[in-house]
Amino acid sequence: MSVTATKIAGPAPLGGLGLFAVYKCLLDTSFLATGEPIDLTGHFSSLYAAWPAGVNAIADALYSYGVVLPDDGTDIAAGTVLISAIESPAKTGATEAAEAFAAVSSTDLHSVGELRIAVIGKAL
């Protein structure tokens, strides 16, 4: 189980910060609560920053996505960068008070069309 990344822009130099790229991510049919690995080792040796950069449908925006990186200065490997997803729990009249978001677990997110992530990192 992993995220399939398709490069749609870059990598290109970003004003002395490193390389910048944007990827379209295809999520798994059974997304794990611990996140799904994404392999960006084809373009980067380490990452400085990565963040969700949008989705192409309102239904896909019902989840909140994140990018989990290894410690600063650590080279990336096939399983050290993760995409995370959380969702708001269902609310009823009795549970309208604020509740913590829950990690998406064993959920089919394969139908999320174009989750994009932006990445800044060090070239290979």
Backbone angles phi and psi of 114, in degrees to 5: -140, 70
Question: How would you write the pLDDT of the chain (124 residues) with one tens digit per residue?
Answer: 567 776 776 777 777 778 899 998 887 777 777 788 888 888 888 899 999 988 887 777 778 889 999 888 788 888 889 888 887 665 555 555 556 676 776 666 766 777 889 999 988 7
Q: Of 109, 12, 4, 5, which Cα lies nearest the Cα of 61? A: 109
Helix then strand then coil, in percent of the chain rounded to 5, is 5, 45, 45
**Neighbouring C-beta atoms of residue 30, cutoff 10 Å:** 13
What does the alpha-carbon distance between residue 118 and residue 42 come to, in Å, rounded to a whole number?
A: 15
Which residues 6+ apart lie within 8 Å of 37 measured at CB?
2, 3, 78, 79, 80, 81, 82
Structure-token pair, residue 46: 């380490």
Residue 32: the pLDDT is: 72
